[in-house]
Chain A
Amino acid sequence: MSKRLRARFAQTKREGRAAFVAYVMAGFPDPDHTVPLLLGLEEGGADVIELGIPFTDPLADGATIQHANEVAVSAGITFADCLEMVQEARAQGLSAPLVLMGYENPLLAYGEKQAAADAAAAGADGFIVVDLPPDEASTFRQACEEQDVSFVPLIAPTTAEKRMKTITSAANSFIYCVSVTGTTGQRAELPPSIGELVTTIRRYTELPIAVGFGVSTRDQVAEVGSVAEGVIVGSAIISAIEAGTVDGCVERVRSYVERVTGRSVDKS
Chain B
Amino acid sequence: MSMETSSELAPRFGDFGGRYIPEVLVAAHEELEEAYIKARNDTTFNEELAELGRHYVGRPTPLYFAQRLTQEVGGARLWLKREDLAHTGAHKINNALGQALLAKRLDKPRIIAETGAGQHGVATATVCAMLGLECVVYMGTEDIRRQSLNVFRMKMLGAEVVPVDSGNCTLKDAINEAMRDWVTNVRTTHYLIGSAIGPHPFPTMVRDFQSVIGREARTQMLEQAGRLPEVAVACVGGGSNAIGLFHPFVEDPVRLIGVEAAGEGLSVPGRNAATLVAGSPGVLHGTHTYLLQDEAGQILETHSISAGLDYPGVGPEHSWLKTSGRAEYIAADDKEALAGFKRLTQSEGIIPALEPAHAIHAAVRLAEEVGEGGDILIGLSGRGDKDMHTVAEALGVTL
The complex places the Cα of A113 from the Cα of B20 at a distance, in Å, of 18
Interface residue B26 (Cβ < 8 Å from any Cβ of A): yes
Return the contact of A181 from the options B18, B179, B187, B285 (Cβ within 8 A). Answer: B187
Contact residue range for chain B? 35 or more
Interface residue A10 (Cβ < 8 Å from any Cβ of B): no
Q: A60 to B183, Cβ gap below 8 A?
A: yes
Task: Give A151 Cβ to nearest chain B Cβ, in Å.
Answer: 13
Q: B22 to A105, Cβ gap below 8 A?
A: no
Interface residue A216 (Cβ < 8 Å from any Cβ of B): no
Interface residue B282 (Cβ < 8 Å from any Cβ of A): yes
Task: Give A234 Cβ to nearest chain B Cβ, in Å.
Answer: 14
Return the contact of A158 from the options B24, B175, B179 (Cβ within 8 A). Answer: B24
Q: B23 to A57, Cβ gap below 8 A?
A: no
Q: A105 to B167, Cβ gap below 8 A?
A: no
Task: Give B149 Cβ to nearest chain A Cβ, in Å.
Answer: 28
Interface class of chain A by DSSP: loop
The complex places the Cα of A163 from the Cα of B31 at a distance, in Å, of 13
**Which one of B24, B184, B286, B293 has the greatest number of beta carbons of chain A within 10 Å?**
B24
Q: A158 to B298, Cβ gap below 8 A?
A: no
Q: B27 to A105, Cβ gap below 8 A?
A: no
Task: Give B49 Cβ to nearest chain A Cβ, in Å.
Answer: 28
**Closest B residue to A78 using CB positions:** B296
Q: B166 to A66, Cβ gap below 8 A?
A: yes
Return the contact of A60 from the options B22, B26, B175 (Cβ within 8 A). Answer: B22
A105-B283, A105-B291, A105-B297 known; A130+B184 contact, CB < 8 A: no
Q: B284 to A155, Cβ gap below 8 A?
A: no
The complex places the Cα of A89 from the Cα of B172 at a distance, in Å, of 35
A104-B283, A105-B282, A158-B186 known; A131+B22 contact, CB < 8 A: yes
Q: A59 to B27, Cβ gap below 8 A?
A: no
**Closest A residue to B172 using CB positions:** A57
Q: A110 to B297, Cβ gap below 8 A?
A: yes
The complex places the Cα of A247 from the Cα of B269 at a distance, in Å, of 36
The complex places the Cα of A261 from the Cα of B21 at a distance, in Å, of 32
Interface residue B40 (Cβ < 8 Å from any Cβ of A): no
Q: A159 to B283, Cβ gap below 8 A?
A: no
A79-B297, A131-B22 known; A160+B27 contact, CB < 8 A: yes
The complex places the Cα of A160 from the Cα of B31 at a distance, in Å, of 11
Chain B residues within 8 Å of A195, by CB = none
Interface residue A193 (Cβ < 8 Å from any Cβ of B): no
Q: B176 to A57, Cβ gap below 8 A?
A: yes
The complex places the Cα of A158 from the Cα of B28 at a distance, in Å, of 8
Chain A residues within 8 Å of B326, by CB = none
Residue-wise, chain B 298-339 has the 8 Å CB interface mask toward A (1 for contact) of 110000000000000000000000000000000000000000
Interface residue B227 (Cβ < 8 Å from any Cβ of A): no
**Which one of A61, A163, A178, A181 has the greatest number of beta carbons of chain B within 10 Å?**
A181
Residue-wise, chain A 97-118 has the 8 Å CB interface mask toward B (1 for contact) of 0000001111111100000000
Interface residue B19 (Cβ < 8 Å from any Cβ of A): yes
Interface residue B223 (Cβ < 8 Å from any Cβ of A): no
Interface residue A182 (Cβ < 8 Å from any Cβ of B): yes
The complex places the Cα of A12 from the Cα of B184 at a distance, in Å, of 32
Chain A residues within 8 Å of B365, by CB = none
The complex places the Cα of A70 from the Cα of B167 at a distance, in Å, of 8
Q: B282 to A178, Cβ gap below 8 A?
A: no
The complex places the Cα of A19 from the Cα of B189 at a distance, in Å, of 35
Q: A181 to B26, Cβ gap below 8 A?
A: no
The complex places the Cα of A78 from the Cα of B166 at a distance, in Å, of 20
Interface residue A80 (Cβ < 8 Å from any Cβ of B): yes
Task: Give B128 Cβ to nearest chain A Cβ, in Å.
Answer: 23
Q: A159 to B27, Cβ gap below 8 A?
A: yes
Interface residue B295 (Cβ < 8 Å from any Cβ of A): yes
Residue-wise, chain A 172-213 has the 8 Å CB interface mask toward B (1 for contact) of 000000100111000000000000000000000000000000
Binds B, one of A42-50, A132-140, A225-233, A236-244: A132-140
Interface residue A56 (Cβ < 8 Å from any Cβ of B): yes
The 4 closest A-B pairs by CB, nearest first: A109-B297, A78-B296, A106-B297, A156-B24
9 sample A-B contacts, Cβ–Cβ < 8 Å, listed by A number: A56-B167, A59-B176, A104-B20, A105-B293, A153-B23, A158-B28, A181-B186, A182-B24, A183-B183
B interface residues (Cβ-Cβ under 8 A, vs A) = 18-28, 30, 166-167, 172, 175-176, 179-180, 183-187, 282-286, 291, 293, 295-299
